[in-house]
Structures are given as C-alpha cells and as structure tokens.
A = this chain, B = another copy of it.
Amino acid sequence: MHAIGIDIGGTKIAGALVDEEGDILREARVPTPPTAQLIEDAVVAMVTDLAMGEAIEGVGVAAAGFIDAAQSTVYYAPNISWRNEPFQARLAARLHLPIVIDNDANAAGWAEFRFGAGRLVSDMVMLTIGTGVGGAIVTEDRLFRGGFGAGAELGHMRLVPDGHPCGCGQHGCLEQYGSGRALLRFANELADAGGIGQALADRRALTGELTGNDVADLIIAGDGGSLAALRQLGHGLGQGCASLGAILDPQLFVIGGGVAQAGELLLEPIRNAYLEHLPARGYHPEPEFRIAELVNNAGVVGAADLARVAARRTADSAQL
C-alpha cells in the first residue's frame, strides 16, 4: 500500500506519495510558513492533496530536532519553535490516518538503507553533511532511536576538547569540523591566508561573502584551495568515523547531504583519516564508505517508509 512522507525544512516543506519500492508517485512543495500553526495547516493540506483517491498505509513526518522514542512528541524542533509538542496527536486528530514523527536525518538514513546505498547491508551509519551534520544508525535492519528517541546525534560527538563553539552549547563537536558550515569556515580561513586560498579570496571579494555554491563551483573547477578545504573536512569526518566504528561497528558508512555531491573527492580523505585513526586495525573486518544515492528525496521517501514500518508493527501487535 502507498504511504506519504513529509519533510519540514527551514525554507520549504516537501511531500510525496511513495510506493512500497520507494518510488515517488506524486510530489508537493510549499515554502515553510512562519508559525507553528501555519506549518501544521500546511502539512494537513499537503497530506490531503497527496492522499486524494488513494488508500494510505500511514503518514511519516520528518523534521530537524529531537523527537521522542514513541515518534509522537517533538521535544525541540528549531524550524518550528516547538517544545514538547504532541505533534503526532494534533495531526492524527485532523487527518484520521496513522502518523509518525521522526528526525529528518533518521528519515534520510532509513531511505538509504531501504532503497539506496545501504540496501545490501543490515548495519550502517549515515552522516548527512548539510549546514550541520545529521546522523542515522541502522542495526540488525532496524532504525536505532535511543532510549528517549534522541540518539544518533552524530554531529555532536566531541572531536576536539575545548574546540570550536557549537550550536549545541558545547565546543569541538564533529559538526564544527565536518559540516557545510565548517567547509565554509575552512574556505574563509584559506581565503584570509592567501596562497592557495587566492581563488577563494577573489571569489569572496566579488560578493563580500563566500557561499556553499561558490565553494562547490571552485571544487568542480579543480581549485586547489577549495580542494584543500574539502580534504580538511574529510579529515575531520574520518576521525569521527574511527570513533563511531569502535562504538557502532557498521558494515557501511553512507555519506549524504549536499556536500556529499563532491563524491570520491570527499570519500578519499574520509577513508584515509578513518584508517589512520582506526583502533585495533587489522584485528576485525572494516566497513565500506559510500556516497548516498537518494540525493533530493531521501527525507520524504524515508519518512513514508518509516510510517509503513510503524503501521505494520501496530498491525502485528493487534494480531497477537
């Protein structure tokens, strides 16, 4: 049966009707409204449109933030300014469909596991490199949520004691050395330093500020400074993966998000730093590293499939 996935981002809400193979049958997209009530209204309208004329197994809603283990309550969502909000119950009351709420990085990771780079393994870790660093863990074919639902915040393991300040209130988190924002910081530092950063400095002088697209353009053009910044990013991510390997021992690391479009240019320094920092190298099997496959739709496809998983678990329980 089909399911619906919704991904509430900071600038847009995306939605899709998704079949059991993860293929998208219908899509929708609106700008993210400014208030929590308007966001709720927009989600209700979008689901209603997408569901038109279809039997729907469930609706999965993905958003950045902390969601409880029951996939019902939003502890905290930066894009919706909610604290401890029973979003599942509010949507269920209006839509009369099975609803689950999940973290957006979890949804993306689940999509890769089911239909993308991770479809052949049982245990994987995904790092989504966007503005920040999101994480997802799959273990024995199940999404790992943690005891309170707030697990897999992989961007906030500490990489450097007393390091760069982080939006989580700590210092030295992986996110500060492995995110798109970190890539921009590295690029700006190189632009300040001159030398191989000269092309970055020139680009910055044109507009007053470097953007992610600027750095991406220069990477594609083979600019040495931009490639150095990318390698620095990969080096940080690979060090994080070494600790994650000791803790989680995945068969596969999937690297997703916008920055992952750099492909092998990013994977190579990640792999190298991983091997350089791997504990007990040679005494146990080593994971693969792959780029994510579902570039733009991972959030909605994963959210839809998580809704299906939850619906079937509920059905199984009812049968017993």
Contact = CB atoms under 8 A, between A and B. Distances in A.
Interface stretch (A24-32, A48-56, A88-96, A164-172): A164-172
Given A169-B281, A195-B280, A196-B168, A246 B132 contact: no
Interface residues of A, number: 84
Contacts of A160: 161
Given A167-B193, A169-B281, A147 B239 contact: no
Given A78-B195, A248-B151, A243 B283 contact: no
Most chain B beta-carbon contacts within 10 A, residue among A152, A186, A195, A282: A195
Nearest to A65: B283
A76 B156 contact: no
Interface string A39-80: 000000000000000000000000000100000000110100
A154 interface: yes
Nearest to A286: B148
A154 B282 contact: no
A247 B151 contact: yes
Given A194-B131, A195-B168, A276-B272, A282 B227 contact: yes
A140 interface: yes
Given A76-B283, A161-B160, A284-B66, A146 B277 contact: no
A153 B246 contact: yes
Contacts of A176: 193
